[in-house]
Amino acid sequence: MLASLLIVFREVLEAGLVVGIVFAATEGIPDRTRWIAAGIAAGAAGASLLALFAGALSNALSGEGQEYFNAAVMLAAVLMLGWHHLWMADHGRELAKQLKTLGSEINAGRASLMAMSIVVALAILREGSEVVLFLYGIVAASTDGPVALFLGGVGGLVLGAVVSFALYRGLVAIPTKRLFQVTGALLTLLAAGLAGQAFATLAQVGAVPTLGDEIWNTAWLLRDDTLVGRALHVITGYTDRPSGIQLLAYGVTLAAFVVGGKLMHRAHERRHRPILKEPSNEHA
């Protein structure tokens, strides 16, 4: 029971960390609960469907269907995160300002909310199908006490959800002025990590060159198979033995987010610069 609890907990936590960060990052945008709930539901439905066709998907593309699918899902999530990131660079400050005044509304948040809803759905789709398959395996192998194992699985699910919620509460405890800076940085790292992992997956099936199988090895410091290692892997893209292409994709995505955000922010400032009229200038 404990083993199944741990397995499900780990998978749920991986998706849950993403959901927690997204929840904090959309703080103050109206209707966000409905949108993100829709993302969770769509992700869960997709995960069940995916588990049903896991065999077929795995056999597709000469046995590499799963890898291509995962890479496509991760890169789609990166695109959605990029969209949200640019939108926040444009509107983040107003959002933070209006958060302080109760009951205010931002109407332009719709498109960004949809992007974040998709990010949540994709995260759950990817991790959820593994949970569904695992639970199915328990039910199918009826020999060793499926009820206890299944209860353990459900316990893991609940525990994962609780920890994700705690993460969200921890994040929104950050003062409003800083909240979007923190969540923006977290989402940027998340996107860079996803891009790196997507390209590592593609390199594994040989679709892109690896550019070096193991650039460094920090397994002595923090191994990927520890809980902290997995959590850091989800949030920051940490891995103890990165490949060259993984680092490259990570760096490029990180740079694109930082530069893109800066440019968008600058454009925003230019558009909304207050027009100053100083009478002293007109005298001269």
* Residues of this chain that bind another protein (CB under 8 A): 3, 7, 54-55, 58-68, 71-72, 75, 129-130, 133-134, 136-137, 140-141, 199-200, 202-210, 213-214, 223-225, 239-241, 243, 245, 249
DSSP 143: T
CA distance 270 to 50: 46
- Shortest Cβ 51–another protein spacing (Å): 8
- Shortest Cβ 71–another protein spacing (Å): 7
- Shortest Cβ 62–another protein spacing (Å): 4
- Shortest Cβ 109–another protein spacing (Å): 28
SS3 content of the chain, % helix, strand, coil (to 5): 80, 0, 20
CB atoms within 10 A of CB 20: 24
Q: What's the number of CA atoms in the CB half-sphere (13 Å) around residue 124? A: 28
Please, which residue, 134 or 165, has the CB nearer to another protein?
A: 134
Please, which residue, 183 or 201, has the CB nearer to another protein?
A: 201
CA distance 150 to 1: 8
Q: What angle do helix axes 32-52 and 110-140 make, rounded to 10 degrees?
A: 40
Please, which residue, 177 or 223, has the CB nearer to another protein?
A: 223
- Shortest Cβ 190–another protein spacing (Å): 19
Please, which residue, 1 or 182, has the CB nearer to another protein?
A: 1
